[in-house]
Amino acid sequence: MNADLSDLLRLLQNMIRLGTIAEVDGAKARVQLGPKLTTEWLNWLTPRAGSTRCWSAPTVGEQVIVFSPGGDLTRGIILPALYSQAFDAPELNQAIHTTHYPDGAVVQYDHAAHALTSTLPGGTATITADKVTSNAPSTICTGDLTVMGNLLVKQSATVNGATALNGGVNAKAGAAGSVAMAVQGTVKASDDVLAGAISLAKHPHSGVKAGGDQSGGPQA
């Protein structure tokens, strides 16, 4: 009877156990439940595992809960996770939803400030889609911007740094009689400049006389 009671108490104790991740291999992990007790390879709970799937592997040393049906640890399921001294809460502000990664990357939304931020130290962000639309009234790029295809500007664009256009520029006035392009400063052309059919480099001059007289205006 005492043996049966001890066995029953052991099964009850094993139904819910706290531990830390000892090993991770693929989609399974082992949990350290005590100085001399480590589980078999167990699955961990994930938000979705059907046609929509989520993936976020636990970290060695991360504190978790193991639920074992009937107290059988071989059938345990890992429930991540609990904050611990090894991995403390990254934020204490209740208005912030954030994910911190081991390389220092942070994705964070502050619903009180309506601010979405993403920090990728030394990394890249890639979006693959047929079309990307931004409805923001203002977009600021603090670094270099490289456009591999065509650049179409419907309204206006402000560039404070140098601009290299390797495919040519086609500027069209927005309304009849308006200016298509206004340049404040010097314009340099390595070849020629045309105003209508008039060549800046090759157009003829009328009324030319010898001496110090000036010629007349350009002729078409």
Residues 61 and 94 in one domain: no
Residues 58 and 113 in one domain: no
- Residue 17 reports pLDDT greater than 80: yes
Residues 12 and 71 in one domain: yes
Tokens representing 216 are 């007349």
Q: What percent of the chain stands above pLDDT 70?
A: 91
Amino acid at 194: L
- Residue 207 reports pLDDT greater than 70: no
Q: Which residues does residue 21 pair with via DSSP β-bridges, in sequence order?
A: 31
Say if residue 69 is exposed, middle or buried (CB neighbours under 10 Å; 0-12, 13-18, 19+): exposed
**CATH code: domain of residue 65:** 2.40.50.230
Residue 179 or residue 126, greater confidence: 126
Contacts of 217 (CB under 8 A, 6+ apart): 205, 206
Poorest-confidence range of 19-23, 33-37, 63-67? 33-37
Q: What is the mean pLDDT of the chain?
A: 87
In a domain, 184, yes or no: no
In a domain, 25, yes or no: yes
Provide the domain count of the chain: 2
Beta-carbon count within 10 A of 31 CB = 27
Domain that holds residue 22: 3-79
What pLDDT does 77 receive?
97
